[in-house]
Structure 1
């Protein structure tokens, strides 16, 4: 009888432990709908952010297309740039030529003055 009593006592203890877990499980169970609602809100915001990001990228990309020059314009710009470089180059050559002539004339006039003095 005493062993039967011990078995029942042990069984009661096990049931009390299980019963102690029930309120905690009920609390967690009650949180599930709230967590699902929050998850849905987060997913909706995430979807909104994705759409906003896609719109921004789409607008950015479409803006970049509008700013692209046609091939004819690019070719014209390239031609004008090369022509400008040639003009500047010839102006520099002309300036250097004039400096050289000026230096030579100064040198020759200095030599003539020295001959006349001497």
Structure 2
């Protein structure tokens, strides 16, 4: 990070990695980055912003700008003050659909039930 090398959070998740799970692993990865000295704002950039640049999708994603696709996570507390606040999700906006924290919890529980039924 100090050398200016672009970092991507979540890049170890994938179909062939049985030990890193999307979701909680991203939060833990951001925490690890901050623990080793990367400022919280830089750790956060390794996700949506750097990812959109790497994938050449930054015309549509990576920042909150008029005309971009509205995939947003709104947090209850500031992750710049404590990076673990990324886990305190109040709302997710996916396109024109808004999910509050209760709806997100319900979706997670349904996904867990589905996983147990169809492993």
- Give the TM-score category using the shorter length: under 0.3
The structure with higher relative contact order (CA 8 Å, sep 6+) is 2
Which has the higher Rg, Structure 1 or Structure 2?
1
The TM-score, its normalising length taken from structure 2, stands at 0.17
The TM-score, its normalising length taken from structure 1, stands at 0.17
